[in-house]
Amino acid sequence: MRYLSQRFAAPNRMCMAVLTDVATEELAHMEMIGAMVHQLTANLSMEEIEKSGFSDYYVDHTVGIWPQAAGGVPLTANQFQSKGDPITDLFESLAAEQKARTTYDNILRVVRDIPEIADPIRFLRAREIVHFQRFGEALRSVQEQLDSKNFYAFNPSFDPPCEASCKN
């Protein structure tokens, strides 16, 4: 949702395409994670649910898939940003990809002996690295088209560069 929302303020086609492409791929990642969680929880007994600490989740969702953080915080729209400033948005996107990579690193530490989980997580981790690279390329494309080298003094999608940097 972050990337799909940010694409509308993208100042060039390359940046817009990267945001659209990565957003589409991330939806597929959600499907993969959802499928893995379903496979891991579909046949749990009540004893296994209680013993594993899964009972609070079970009470609300049975074994349905409900996107939430490991700590139990559900996914909400306030967890992603779209400011309408492509510099701000791309840094937000770069940070999101690094956070996702770190999460996958942590998952791999926990499931290293379960290849059915570790292998797809390794694939998803590799994709986060590619996304980070693509967002870096998009950021560079935005910075190169600006007529001011002070990228952080104004919103290039809203403030004309000379007006914003020449007022002081």
Structure tokens at 157: 């999608």
| pLDDT of residue 159 exceeding 70 | no
pTM over 0.85: no
Mean pLDDT within 80-108: 93
Residue 9 CA to residue 25 CA, distance in Å, equals 20
With a CB cutoff of 8 Å and minimum separation 6, the contacts of 158 are 84, 85
Q: Percentage of residues in the chain with pLDDT exceeding 70?
A: 87
Assign residue 14 the CATH number of its domain: 1.20.1260.10
Domain count, the chain: 1
Helix runs in the chain, H state only: 2-6, 13-41, 46-52, 55-61, 86-111, 115-145, 161-166
Would you place residue 156 in the very low, low, confident or very high pLDDT band (cuts 50, 70, 90)?
Answer: low
Q: What is the mean pLDDT of the chain?
A: 87
Q: Is 84 left (phi over 0), alpha (psi -120 to 50) or beta?
A: left
Q: Which residue has the higher pLDDT, 44 or 135?
A: 135
Per the structure, the complete domain to which residue 26 belongs is given by 2-166
Structure tokens at 63: 């074994």
| pLDDT of residue 168 exceeding 50 | no
